[in-house]
Structure formats: structure tokens, C-alpha cells
Amino acid sequence: MPDKTYDVLVVGSVNADLVVRVDRRPAAGETVLGSDLATYPGGKGANQAVAAARLGGRVAFLGRAGTDGQGDFLRDALRGDGVDITHLITTPGPSGVALITLGPDGDNSIIVSPGANGRVTEEDVTAAGPLFAAASVVSLQMEVPLDAVLAAARAAEAAGARVVFNLSPPAAVPDELLALCDPLVVNEHEAAFLGASDPAGLLARGPRSVVITKGADGAVVADGDGVIEVPSPRVEAVDTTGAGDAFTGALSWRLARGDDLATAARFAARVGAAAVRVAGAQSSFPRPADLEDM
């Protein structure tokens, strides 16, 4: 790919992750005791940006954060990892927050309050037009409004940037958006939401390529040349929060550097596995030295 100012432009969400560990999740109407509350920087968009930046990527971010204390915390976290936040717009009101319950086996349940993320607009995308021409890959998710996501995908296509679209959380999206994806990245639940559990079925929906992530079982990659299984290193999971974002951020960066899809996915699987070994989302994301034993 021709050299650009940025390897990856992320258009997406920034959230404060409020995490409580529990021995078991409460049933309806039940109260259980949990751990002390821990607060981490998160949000699918910010997570993917930090994952790519920590690996050495040149990353820019487009989104919105609030005027509360969480907004300052989130801006500082992105800036501290070297992400260009020139287009992280300050929005009156609360920032996005994710309420995360973490079980003893490292799995999680998440409720997201969008806050400022819900105010990202098509106009924000238009105003940041030169960013799209400056990026090799544009990474998108679904924690900001669909109109903004579709506008960003169109802007990326017009600028000649590759669109990596993580359909998470799952939602109905137009065929036009799916047709711009290269790849569409989904986990097995998100694939089922689209009505297809296999790569061929997903490709029939229109994306140029597909990656299905399968947690500890790695990923499946599919494009016009066929289907490839990508294994994941075996590790002891401490906290799976953000592992999918670590995978997608790493995938986006390696695609920007010129890897083919299968090679990028193999690297991304190592990054995702490294992330589950440490608590938190962004706090768990590896740097190159952390991958040497993978």
C-alpha cells in the first residue's frame, strides 16, 4: 500500500469500563457481593485504536467524549498510547460507560450506556474528510450511530482506504455497508445474528472478505480465494474483556502494513490470546515484546 500519514483511522466509541468481579452472576431480583469497583479506559473504538498503536501503528481516532471526569480520563488514556485525538470531539454531557460483570472463569457480561458516543454524526465524518485520505485502513464498529458508520465507510471507499468493519454489538445494517467491508469481522454470535454460521453464508451477504473469531479456537478467514482456519495460542484466560477488540485492532494494523488477510489474522490471534492473560481491556493489550512467548 502507498505510504499514508496513518496506518489506521478508527471511527468509533470511547467508554469508561466499570468492572466488578463476582463469584457468580445474580439471578433476577437477587443481590450478590462483588469485588472493589475498577475503572479502565475502554470502548470498542478506543480499544481497537490502542491495540494497533501499542503494536507500533500510526493511529488516529474520530469520535466523541463527554465533559465529565470520565471524558478527561479517556482522552488522557488515548493520548498516552500515542493515538492522535485531534478529532475526538468534546460533547456536553456524560461520556460513554460500560458496566462489566466479570465471572470467575474470565468471561464477562456488559451493559453499555452510550453517552457522547450516541452523538457521533455524519457531519463529524464530513468535517474530518482529510483523515480518510490520510489512512490506509478505516476501522469501524457499532457503538456509534449507524448513519455515522455508513458515512465513514463511504468516505473510506471514496478515499481508497480499506474498510474493516466489526459488527459489534450486532445490529441490522444495510447491504451497502456490508458490501464495503474488507473484511467483515464477527464472532460466532454476531455471525448467527446475520443468519449464517459459516464463512460462505456470510460472504453471500455481500462483504469482500470475512473473519469469524472463535475465541480460544482462533478464527476462520474467507475471501474469494477460499477458507482458512487460523489457530490461537493456548493460554490461561484471566479476563476476556476487550480480546476481540485487540484482535481487530491488530488485524487492521497488519492489513495496513500490507499483510494478506490470513497472515494478518494469524498475528491478530496471537494478540487476542495475549490480551486475555491480563485483567482489563486496554490495560491488557500487548506490545511487541509481550508476544515473544506466544
117 is in an annotated binding site: no
Report the SS3 class of residue 207. coil
Handedness of CA 106, 111, 114, 118 (dihedral sign): positive
4 is in an annotated binding site: no
Integer Cα distance of 43 and 93 in angstroms = 17
Integer Cα distance of 175 and 126 in angstroms = 22
Could you say which of 225, 245, 259, 260 is catalytic?
Answer: 245
96 is in an annotated binding site: no
Judged on CB neighbours under 10 Å (0-12, 13-18, 19+), 181 is buried
- Which residue has cell 473504538? 45
15 is in an annotated binding site: yes
217 is in an annotated binding site: yes
57 is in an annotated binding site: no
71 is in an annotated binding site: no
Grid coordinates of 4: 499514508
239 is in an annotated binding site: yes
Q: From the CB of residue 92, how many other CB atoms can be counted at a distance below 10 Å?
A: 9
292 is in an annotated binding site: no
Integer Cα distance of 16 and 20 in angstroms = 13
179 is in an annotated binding site: no
242 is in an annotated binding site: no
CB neighbour burial string for 111-134, b if at least 16 within 10 angstroms, e if fewer: ebebbbbbbbebebbeebeebbeb
Integer Cα distance of 230 and 218 in angstroms = 6
224 is in an annotated binding site: no
108 is in an annotated binding site: no
The C-alpha angle with vertex 243 and arms to 89 and 106, in degrees rounded to 5, equals 120
260 is in an annotated binding site: no
245 labelled catalytic: yes
For residues 179 and 207, the answer to whether their CB atoms sit within 8 Å is yes
46 is in an annotated binding site: yes
Query: Which active-site residues does the annotation give?
Result: 245
Could you tell me which residues are annotated as the binding site for ATP? Answer: 187, 213-218, 244-245
Could you tell me which residues are annotated as the binding site for substrate? Answer: 15-17, 43-47, 143, 245
Could you tell me which residues are annotated as the binding site? Answer: 15-17, 43-47, 143, 187, 213-218, 239, 241, 244-245, 275, 278, 280, 284
Could you tell me which residues are annotated as the binding site for K(+)? Answer: 239, 241, 275, 278, 280, 284
